[in-house]
Amino acid sequence: MTHTNTSTWGKIEAPAVLVTRKLPDAVEDRLRRTYKAFLNPDDRLYSSDELLNKASEADIIIACHTEKFTADVIARLPERVVAICNFSVGYDHVDTAAAKSRGIIVTNTPDVLSDATAETAMLLLLGAARRASEGEMLVRTRQWRDWSPSFMVGLQVTGKRLGILGMGRVGQVMAQRARGFGMEIHYHNRRPLDPAAEHGAIYHPTVDNLLPHCPFLSIHCPATPETQGLLDARRFGLLPKNAVVVNTARGAIIDDDALIAALRSRQIFAAGLDVFNNEPEIHPGYRELTNAFLLPHIGSATRETRDAMGFRALDNLDAIVAGREPKDRVA
């Protein structure tokens, strides 16, 4: 059946929903109660061709950032697909202009993962500053031999200045957590926050203005054509020597060669990274660096948050099927 008017759904038969990855049980249960659900219980990553093939039976797709909806993929989606409801806040994996031009609705899941992602950013900040990855390796590989005053000395976080690049929902929660460590917050955002929301954070009108103030820097802006490779060799050079850089946003914001060179030369003390270009085939240079604290894109990976992301995606789906405007429409 081809749907041109979503408000007629439900009167004919349950809309068919293709889910690209294994979702939390509670989310799949709710989905199955109302829709004809095509699930992926083995959690296999579909190729674009497989995805397109499976989409031939779907009216709506619940997708993750692991599936790339390029202009070409969107052009080849079956006519009946009317929406892509993402199980993610980031939607850089979807060519939204292509979706818009085909009239395909695209939604995301903001708000619900801000706490979990800020927790991960804080973990990376502390772990990078205190050399957690290096220390853990020493213990696990039985290379820990001794204690001395000069052993494994890192950087103290308490009371230092933290720069936040992108003061959206996650950035603001990160600022709040960092204040618990007595950190002074500086930030850059497209627009300054209302003074009431700043809680004393200091706004810098450009990235270049912000960086010299940041012995610690946490990245929270979306990946867009404007932020692609934003942190390059020149900008890393604007940070104070021995800075710590944390990224829980998207790998694309960082020029890997530039960061790896700065970590190798110790111009940058350490990096804490949860996201990378070309995941999971990350730049091999990172694996060799003892001053890189690396996590496998688990920013939002808590039970509570993954449930909440799923329910938020379903709320958007329900709205689309009911012919209402979904809360989190991005295209």
Residue of 297, 303, 304, 312 with catalytic role: 297
Calpha distance 16→41 (Å, rounded): 17
Closest listed residue to residue 5, CA positions, set 314, 319, 318, 321: 321
User: Judging by beta carbons within 10 Å of its beta carbon (0-12, 13-18, 19+), is residue 41 exposed, middle or buried?
Assistant: exposed
Residue (24 or 90) nearer to ligand DGY, CB:
90
Closest listed residue to residue 289, CA positions, set 258, 260, 254: 260
Residue (89 or 260) nearer to ligand DGY, CB:
89
Instruction: Say whether 119 is catalytic.
Output: no
* Cβ 177 vs Cβ 118: under 8 Å: yes
Scanning the chain, the segments in alpha helix (DSSP H) are: 25-34, 48-54, 71-76, 96-101, 114-129, 132-140, 169-179, 195-198, 207-210, 233-236, 256-264, 284-287, 303-321
Residue (133 or 300) nearer to ligand DGY, CB:
300
**H/E element, 187:** strand 184-188
CB of 197 to ligand DGY, least distance (A): 22
CB of 324 to ligand DGY, least distance (A): 23
Q: State both tokens at 47.
A: 């190729």
CB of 65 to ligand DGY, least distance (A): 4
CB of 308 to ligand DGY, least distance (A): 11
Angle at CA of residue 161, ends 301 and 269, nearest 5°? 70
CB of 169 to ligand DGY, least distance (A): 11
Q: State both tokens at 265.
A: 């030369």
Residue of 21, 65, 250, 312 with catalytic role: 250
Instruction: Say whether 297 is catalytic.
Output: yes
Calpha distance 138→127 (Å, rounded): 15
Residue (299 or 326) nearer to ligand DGY, CB:
299
Residue (89 or 273) nearer to ligand DGY, CB:
89
| Site for ligand DGY, rule CB under 6 A | 64-65, 88-90, 113, 299-300
Instruction: Say whether 220 is catalytic.
Output: no
Q: State both tokens at 174.
A: 């990160």
Residue (6 or 300) nearer to ligand DGY, CB:
300
CB of 96 to ligand DGY, least distance (A): 14
Residue of 134, 184, 198, 279 with catalytic role: 279
Calpha distance 316→4 (Å, rounded): 18
Active-site residue set: 250, 279, 297
